[in-house]
Amino acid sequence: LKQALPYVRLVGESWPLPLSRAHYEYLALSKQADLAPGLVPALLHHNETLALTVMELLEPHIIMRKGLVAAAQYPRFAGDITPSWRGRCSSRPTSRLSAAEKKEGIAAFAGNHALCKITEDLIFTDPYRIAEQNRWTAPYLDGLAASLRDDMDLHVAISRLKLKFMASPEALLHGDLHTGSIMVTDSQTRVIDPEFAFYGPMGFDVGAVLANLLMAYFASAGHERAPGERAAFEGWVLETVEQVWNEFARKFLDLWRAGAAGDAYPGLALRRRDGRGAAGGRAAGLHAAPVRRCGRLRRGQNHPPHLRPRPQHRFRADRGSAEAGDQRGARRAAGAGDDGGGGGLPIDRRRHRRRAKAAGLDAGVCERLKADALQ
Ligand SMILES: Nc1ncnc2c1ncn2[C@@H]1O[C@H](COP(=O)(O)OP(=O)(O)OP(=O)(O)O)[C@@H](O)[C@H]1O
Ligand SMILES: [Mg+2]
């Protein structure tokens, strides 16, 4: 039985939280049961008024984090945590959704913003500024904490990721997939507590799993009673990091090749079986960045009526548009290149510097954020 309280359980009434999270947890559990059968506890009952959910009791499962502290190894974990999305429900991956289904899915979870805000603050904002929730081992890590606050390049990078988290509704996420949200036995893996669920960037959950495995690896030495005692466990953790990513990538591409019947990527090159299926993986990372260039490419072929000049002018306009949004640039902007999606967009640097100075901001940071916004 799980009943939501109007505040964070571990902190108390000083940190209020809406009861509606019980609704989103229930909704996510039912979608996940359909998408990845057997990976979540079965739903038995839900009562909206009481913010109450009855689910399968997982026994003798333990919280995976506790198992990792005890140096337990879970050989099935990498395969289990990267399911094949066998289900056929409406929350199946974007490659198989119609545009209408996708938008309805996004809308169904859009109200869970209070839980998203926790992640936006705790992961993407607070570690980089003075904040009440921050904890570190003082005085030993004071220098490291200060360096996180002072590193402007890091602030730019984290701002980009935060924007991606807030504004890239690619897939239904668990949203809080640390090893405290996973229950295990030697032969089973179950994911619990999807109260942070929403449509977000599809790499977020797998990234959280990898980060938590790496944290278990780095924390391991602190649990040693004799030198080298946990070496086999530590080796297993590192292997598992690789396996989780490889399994995720393999299953993602298998799914892609099996038939991208949705509206987002209607087949063609993205489904090729000749090893270039990886294009599908890259396309799946597609965000707002390439839209501008792709728009120009499209315009080179298909002017809307008000842009259609006489034929000889149209030829020049079409070629100019296509060249300005050349295919290489569009691919690069879509993430295939290594320029971070900038794609050589001309930016009026002097104008940004003037504005940044007027606002009392670091000009370089402003320029790069503005470049992102323009993309
Ligand atoms: N289906 C289940 N079967 C058995 N035990 C469970 C199940 N679901 C949760 N638990 C146990 O209850 C604990 C709390 O569950 P859960 O994390 O869902 O609650 P929560 O209120 O969201 O907690 P938190 O504030 O830590 O996120 C888990 O750590 C786990 O030990
Ligand atoms: Mg919880």
Q: What is the pLDDT of residues 155-194, one digit of tens each?
A: 999 999 999 999 999 999 999 999 999 999 999 999 999 9
Residue 6 CA to ligand 2 centre (angstroms):
12
Round the CA-based radius of gyration of the chain to a whole number and report it.
Answer: 24
Q: What is the mean pLDDT of the chain?
A: 80
- For residue 327, pLDDT over 70 is answered with no
Tell me the sheet residues that pair with 145: none
Nearest CA to ligand 1 atom 20: 193
Element of type H or E holding 299: helix 291-301
195 alpha carbon – ligand 2 mean position (Å): 6
Q: Containing H/E element for 200?
A: strand 198-200
Each residue's pLDDT tens digit, 79-118: 999 987 654 433 355 567 889 999 999 999 999 999 999 9
Which pairing describes strands 198-200 and 2-3: parallel, antiparallel, or unpaired?
unpaired
Contact call for residues 103 and 264 (beta carbons, < 8 A): no
pLDDT above 70 for 52? yes
Centre of ligand 1 to C-alpha 43, Å, is 14
Sorted by sequence, the CB contacts under 8 Å of residue 217 that are 6+ apart come out as 234, 237, 238, 241
Q: Say which DSSP state 343 is in.
A: T
Mutate to test the pocket of ligand 1, among 64, 193, 195, 196 (most ligand atoms within 8 A of CB): 193
Say if ligand 1 is within 6 A of residue 307 CB. Answer: no
Q: Computed from CA positions of residues 128, 134, 136, 142, in that sequence, does the dihedral angle turn out positive or negative?
A: positive
Rounded to an integer, the average pLDDT of 35-60 is 96
pLDDT at 348 over 60: no
Q: How many CA atoms lie within 13 A of 80 on its CB side?
A: 17
pTM of the model: 0.78
180 CA distance to ligand 1 centroid (A)?
9
Distance CA 368, CA 364 (A): 6
| Apex 288 CA angle, 270 and 294, nearest 5 | 60
pLDDT higher than threshold 80 for residue 124: yes
From CA 319, how far away is CA 314, in angstroms rounded?
A: 8
